[in-house]
């Protein structure tokens, strides 16, 4: 069976779930994981609706490339489907290190994208659950916590990062809102 997403080349849901199940069954000592991260592109549907699926596909490919550049090599990055991505951060990071890493990833993902002379800006919602090992800890609860953090980020209007229910301030920028600008009327096409 295929273990890679054919569009982005990232791990697919099947491979991601297999790694996650393996971690749950083998325990924490099997593979050091500092956090589970869920990423959702804000207002991605606008791209497909206004520019077509080819533009949406290119956007997803660029998101994959940007994630691979922004995150450590040891991270398992997967496209779960649609505009949803998941990351297992496999590095000895504390909560502050995870916050810095996710800020960097958020800023990288929010950079404008050019496609066929059209300028697209995106926001991303990122939710993460930090691995902790208190008595009674269950690794299977990590996904539920990351999902709750993602929904908390989306509830703030998107374009935000939430780690275990705490919002992380991302440096304000002129980017970060899903916007589709028509090509300029004068001059050449917008370049990537």
Catalytic center residues: 83
Instruction: Spell out the alpha helix ranges (H) of the chain.
Output: 13-26, 45-51, 53-70, 95-109, 141-155
Q: What is the 3-state secondary structure (H, E, C) of 11-44?
A: EEHHHHHHHHHHHHHHCCCCCCCCEEEEEEEECC
Count Cα neighbours of 116 within 13 Å in the Cβ-side half-sphere. 11
Return the sign of the alpha-carbon dihedral for residues 161, 163, 167, 169. Answer: negative
């Amino acid at each position: 069976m295929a273990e890679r997403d054919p569009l982005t080349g990232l791990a697919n849901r099947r491979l991601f779930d297999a790694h996650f199940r393996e971690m749950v069954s083998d325990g924490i000592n099997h593979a050091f994981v500092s956090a589970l991260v869920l990423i959702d592109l804000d207002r991605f549907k606008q791209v497909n609706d206004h520019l077509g699926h080819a533009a949406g596909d290119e956007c997803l490919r660029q998101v994959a490339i940007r994630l691979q550049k922004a995150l450590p090599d040891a991270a398992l990055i997967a496209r779960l489907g649609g505009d949803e991505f998941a990351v297992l951060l496999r590095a000895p990071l504390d909560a502050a290190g995870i916050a810095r890493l996710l800020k960097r990833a958020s800023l990288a993902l929010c950079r404008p994208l050019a496609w066929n002379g059209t300028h697209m800006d995106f926001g991303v919602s990122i939710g993460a659950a930090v691995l902790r090992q208190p008595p009674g800890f269950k690794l299977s609860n990590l996904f539920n916590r990351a999902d709750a953090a993602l929904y908390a980020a989306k509830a703030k209007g998107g374009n935000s990062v939430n780690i275990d229910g705490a919002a992380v301030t991302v440096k304000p920028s002129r980017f970060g809102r899903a916007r589709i600008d028509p090509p300029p009327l004068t001059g050449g096409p917008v370049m990537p």
